[in-house]
Amino acid sequence: MITVQNLTKRYGDHVAVDDVSFVCKPGQVTGFLGPNGAGKSTTMRIIAGLTPATSGSATVGGVAYTDIPNPGTEVGVLLDASAQHAGRTGAEILTLSALTMGLPRRRVDEMLDLVSLSPKEAGRRVRNYSLGMRQRLGIANALIGDPRILILDEPANGLDPAGIHWMRSLLRDYANRGGTVLLSSHLLHEIEIIADEILVIGQGRIVTAGTKDSLLAGAGTRVRSLDDVALFDALRRADIRTQAVPDGGFTTDATPEEVGRAAAAAGVALIELRTGDGAQLEEMFLQLTADTQREQPTPQGAL
């Protein structure tokens, strides 16, 4: 289990992490979402004992990471796949980890096989690895000690679709066997697929947290008709705020009943009317972190 309580990190006047609290439970994948600079990586570095907190606490398995005698056998960490020694081979990096943790040499071959790095690839220097190969090596290094907890920052970067599917299956199986996973990603669709719990962070604070279903429930209504111009006018007259959807129709903050009554009063035939629990996580994420985004939506008609 990972437990974070009232965690704060300041760099001078800048507050990178602001009173953050959450729990990652065994048997679950916890997805950690937020724009660049929102505080995800800083939080994970504090949990992994690499950055001291200004205040608050972060524990893994009930103790601080720095107090674990042989941490690699308890907590697997991958924070930056590019931070591996470029002059060593993949096999050498895993061998050094195994020796440091007091593990048998066979774990190296087991991990190389697990992440599908061939003997030829394992014998190449890391400077010649693609980002996807470095990610696979980093995941192997995180798992070599057979830890109960995984902390992974953007592990899907550089992986092709087949690699992402492989990683998703690997982490799902790990959690199903009782492991605890904290996974950060900007790939919202991947988090939506794999995460049991979702944390959304913006400007250093947890904006919302919960299961995917609980976060998307009550997210409004998705509606579409054969005449979206007439539908827009009907909803506007009913004082229902709308947001256009690229493939047609609108999302609204109103209930399906309110939307349906407004459409019926205007004689607009609907071809889709459903609750927000079918909405995309990306839409919810952008709404919740709108104030922290560098890129603001382009006003209609501005192009």
* CATH superfamily placement of domain 2-210: P-loop containing nucleotide triphosphate hydrolases (3.40.50.300)
Residue 100: what residue type?
T
Regarding pTM above 0.85, the answer is no
**pLDDT tens digits for 104-121?**
999 999 999 999 999 999
- The residue whose two tokens read 């195994």 is 98
**pLDDT tens digits for 71-104?**
999 999 999 888 889 999 999 999 999 999 999 9
Q: Is 84 helix (H, G, I), strand (E, B) or coil?
A: coil
From residue 90, how far is each of 68, 129, 153, 208, 285 by CA, in Å? 26, 9, 20, 39, 37
Residue 149 β-bridge partners: 75, 180
149: which DSSP letter?
E
What is the token pair recorded at 249?
């129709």
**pLDDT tens digits for 234-265?**
999 999 988 888 778 888 878 888 999 999 99
What is the token pair recorded at 235?
């909803």
Quick check: 6 and 55 in contact, CB under 8 A? yes
Domain boundaries defined on the chain: 2-210, 220-278
Quick check: 47 and 58 in contact, CB under 8 A? yes
CA distance 99 to 122: 17
Quick check: 239 and 179 in contact, CB under 8 A? no
Rounded CA Rg of the chain = 23
Q: Is 25 helix (H, G, I), strand (E, B) or coil?
A: coil
